[in-house]
């Protein structure tokens, strides 16, 4: 009785394993690697784009930038104007 029970149990386990193998064989896992590669590539592209834009925005201004020139000329004009006022007050 025990031998028959164990044989039936082994047959059920083997049948379940065969059914699982058949189900897995029917599914197509060949494109999973491509899917993962594309998803990881898109994620990496987004991360690199964010990093590059952040680094680029933190870069110092170039001296030939028109806005920078405007600020530079405005400050030098204020300093020269301050010198004029200082010289006028001294007289």
pLDDT reported for residue 38: 96
pLDDT over 60 (residue 90)? no
Distance CA 42, CA 49 (A): 11
Rounded to whole angstroms, the Cα distance separating 74 from 68 reads 10
Q: What is the mean pLDDT of the chain?
A: 75
- Predicted model pTM: 0.40
pLDDT one-digit tens code per residue, 31-75: 788 899 999 999 999 999 999 888 877 666 556 666 666 665 666
pLDDT tier, 85 (very low <50, low <70, confident <90, very high otherwise):
low
Could you tell me if 62 and 68 are in contact, meaning their C-beta atoms sit under 8 angstroms apart?
yes
């Amino acid at each position: 009785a025990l031998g028959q029970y164990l044989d039936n149990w082994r047959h059920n386990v083997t049948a379940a394993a065969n059914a699982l193998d058949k189900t897995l064989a029917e599914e197509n896992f060949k494109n999973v690697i491509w899917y993962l590669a594309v998803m990881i590539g898109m994620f990496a592209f987004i991360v690199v784009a964010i990093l590059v834009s952040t680094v680029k925005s933190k870069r110092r201004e170039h001296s030939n930038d028109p806005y920078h020139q405007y600020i530079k000329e405005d400050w030098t004009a204020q300093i020269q104007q301050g010198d004029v006022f200082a010289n006028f007050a001294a007289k």
